[in-house]
Chains A and B, each alone.
Chain A
Amino acid sequence: MAEQTFFVDIDCYQQKKSGQNAFGDCFKSRRYTDEGRLLAVLSDGLGSGIKADILATMTATMILKFIEEGKDILKATEVIMNSLPVCQVRKISYATFSAFECTDEGLIKIVEEGNPDFIHIRNGAVVEHEPKVITSKKFTNRHMHLYNFKLEPEDRLIFCSDGVTQSGMGTDEYKLGWRREGLIQFVEGEVLRNPTISSSHLAHEIVKEAIRKEPEHKAKDDVSALVLYFRKPRNLLIFTGPPYRQDRDAEYAKIFDDFEGRKAIVGGTTANLLARELGRDITTEKYNKGMLPACSHMEGVDLITEGILTLTKVLEYLNEGYDRWPDDAAGRLIELLLDSDVINFMIGSKLNQAHYDPDLPLELEIRKNVVKQLEKILSGRYIKKVNLKFI
């Protein structure tokens, strides 16, 4: 039996301190698909607003860059801990951080300095870990907590800024704030209610709940929650464009049909080709939504859209970012994309001559180029694992 691979689903949700126009916490992450590892840093800058934003961004970016350039996570964070300046007024560090490196096998190294201790949830209950404490040679009040362990399938880790654990502090109900215990209770409840809750969803719920503890529901500090969920990957296969070699249509149609996970076809000709090879009917919705051609339906396929116009729109929407994706074929494709962990593209290389007719009222992009740009944004900003296969 093939070895089961797992996926590290991470996401962070943040709210600014009420009245500020910049985030004082910073989350940075990078996934290295080829090496099967992921780096992430959550940093909390002292104070709030622009100053905190710069401190946190600087700290998170530096840690990420150091590790990226081959430095061990412990070495990288030690350098940062020793070099971060001290606030002249408060005599405390300029920024705190949590950083971790996690492999696809679930081996995780965590370094924390100053942030609330992370929470490890396994089988619905908390697992506590003893850290190795490393004290800064330069600043004796700075301690890094180092953890090294292996995640098991369905494990979750929750990291947060103190804006979460200290929310509601000073109110009658939460004199000392929501605290880590309150957060644990909430997370346990959420996971019990929805055992497959995604990292993105749980991070949102934590931040929303923290802000509910505050008087008038106004955040008194920057509030960030970073969630890691080690689980079976949700796979998506997108077949777009007819294969270069027509004699291999049947072979590719079989690969598509046999794929385990969700499937989408992006392209009218591609949809016809698969319908023909698989012997199935396609029905097309009669009314287009927005500026894009309507979606179609076929048994065993989750979504069928037109090709290049829809892909170009998807790229445009992802670049712009929306709270709610527009209600058209591109919006529906984005929902499918963002709800998947591993996105596989099968990109047919055959060109449609009609797309190069100079009489076309607008210029159509080349499919290959659009997909390459999509790969960049999906793996960069949306931390997805993306595989491209040109056929």
Chain B
Amino acid sequence: MEESGKISLELCFGTTCFVMGASKLQDIESFIPPQYKNKVDVKAHTCLDLCKNSTYMKAPFVKIDGEIISEATVEKVIQAIERKING
């Protein structure tokens, strides 16, 4: 969790992530349930440099409080946020 107490959600807009589906994640903020909205801080990156390392599985990648989610989709990310908040 960030200093602000918010969950940090980091998106990768690098080439591989973008063509593998990150383009659909840019609207993620609008899918976050209203009660959690002010608890998440969304930030985009030029590239998280994860696709070059085969141990991280497949793009697109998202980081939630530093934890890597591979093959990220809107559903997967929302579920991960809910898990974080609800413990």
Contacts and interface: CB of A to CB of B under 8 A. Distances in A.
Contacts of B45: 268, 282, 284
Contact of A284 (B13, B19, B20, B59): B13
Nearest to A307: B15
Contact of A360 (B11, B12, B19, B42): B19
Contacts of A294: 13, 26, 44
B60 to A, nearest CB: 11
Given A352-B52, A354-B51, A306 B46 contact: yes
Given A269-B49, A286-B26, A287-B26, A309 B15 contact: yes
Interface string A277-291: 000001011111001
Contacts of B13: 268, 284, 288, 293-294, 306
A286 B44 contact: yes
A304 B46 CA distance: 9
Contact of A288 (B12, B23, B49, B51): B23
Query: Considering residues B42, B46, B52, which has the most beta carbons from chain A within 10 angstroms of its beta carbon?
Result: B46
Main SS of the interface on chain B? mixed
Query: Considering residues A269, A288, A308, A354, which has the most beta carbons from chain B within 10 angstroms of its beta carbon?
Result: A354
Interface residues of A, number: 30
B51 A293 contact: no
Interface string B43-81: 111110101101000110000000000000000000000
A118 B19 CA distance: 53
Contacts of B11: 286
Contact of A272 (B16, B44, B46, B51): B46
Interface string B1-41: 00000000001111110111011001001000000000000
Interface in A246-275: 267-269, 271-272
Given A269-B14, A306-B13, A352-B52, A360 B47 contact: no
A296 B46 contact: yes
A359 interface: yes
Nearest to A282: B46
A362 interface: yes
A353 interface: yes
A271 B19 contact: no
A306 B13 CA distance: 8
A291 B19 CA distance: 10
A293 B21 CA distance: 11
B16 A357 contact: yes
A364 interface: yes
A65 interface: no
B18 A309 contact: yes
Given A288-B13, A293-B18, A354 B52 contact: yes
A293 B11 CA distance: 11
A271 B49 CA distance: 11
A217 interface: no
A70 interface: no
A361 interface: yes
B47 A268 contact: yes
Contacts of A360: 16, 19-20
Nearest to A354: B51
Nearest to A350: B52
Nearest to A306: B15
A238 to B, nearest CB: 15
Given A306-B13, A307-B15, A354-B52, A271 B20 contact: no
Nearest to B18: A293
A201 interface: no
28 contacts: A268-B14, A268-B15, A268-B45, A268-B46, A268-B47, A269-B47, A271-B46, A271-B47, A272-B47, A272-B49, A284-B44, A285-B44, A286-B26, A286-B42, A286-B43, A287-B26, A288-B26, A293-B14, A304-B46, A306-B46, A307-B15, A354-B16, A357-B16, A359-B20, A360-B19, A362-B19, A364-B15, A364-B19
The list of the 9 closest CB pairs from A to B, nearest first, reads A268-B47, A354-B51, A268-B46, A284-B44, A268-B14, A293-B13, A271-B46, A354-B16, A293-B18
Given A268-B12, A306-B15, 12 more contacts: A267-B15, A268-B14, A269-B52, A271-B47, A284-B46, A286-B26, A286-B44, A294-B26, A309-B19, A353-B52, A354-B59, A360-B19
Interface of B: 11-16, 18-20, 22-23, 26, 29, 42-47, 49, 51-52, 54, 58-59
